[in-house]
Structure 1
Amino acid sequence: MYLTGEKKQEMFAKHGKSAQDTGSAEGQIALFTFRINHLTEHLKQNKKDHSTRRALIKLVGKRRSLLDYLIKKDIERYRAIIKELKLRK
């Protein structure tokens, strides 16, 4: 499997407050970004996989709503996560 429990804990420890803090917006955004990148690579090879395309679009929407939440709550946390994950060019 491409995403193991250890990999998730590592992401939450790096981007969230701790490895057990799976509810922080930064940790969830990092997890969604990892999954989005994985699905994007999959779709480059399998162009007709429409169920994966739908899942990718749903993930992008979830990440966008979390980013919108961070903009409203704390703009500095938003800027930090954007810079850390390199979501903007």
Structure 2
Amino acid sequence: GSPEAQIALFSIRIAHLTEHLRANHKDYTTARALKALVGKRRRLLDYLIRKDINRYRAIIAQKELGIRK
């Protein structure tokens, strides 16, 4: 799918895993998976910055994804 769709899906999964880790702070496997997802999302955002800055700004402007600059 498009980078925007992938970023949105990663953001939903990141939020879910973050909630899980708040209740299960010793779940190191989930913590590792969360770090990997955050890295994947960051790489996609960096790709959008390089390819089309306007699409990047549109993603950042969406408050429901919870992505900061």
Specify the TM-score bucket, using the shorter chain as the normaliser: over 0.9
The structure that is helix-richer by fraction is 2
**TM-score, normalised relative to structure 1:** 0.72
CA distance in 2 between counterparts of 1:27 and 1:57 reads 19
Q: Deviations over 1:26-77 (max 9, x none)?
A: 0000000000000000000000000000000000000000000000000000
Structure 1 stretches of 5 or more lacking a match? 1-22
Identity of aligned residues (%): 70
RMSD: 1.1
Structure number with greater CO (CA < 8 Å, separation at least 6) is 2
CA distance in 2 between counterparts of 1:58 and 1:86 reads 18
Runs of 4+ aligned residues of structure 1 deviating over 4 Å after TM superposition are none
1:1-89 alignment runs, 5 A limit: 23-84=1-62, 85-88=65-68
**TM-score, normalised relative to structure 2:** 0.93
Structure 2 stretches of 5 or more lacking a match? none
Q: Which has the larger radius of gyration?
A: 1
Q: Secondary structure at the match of 1:88?
A: coil
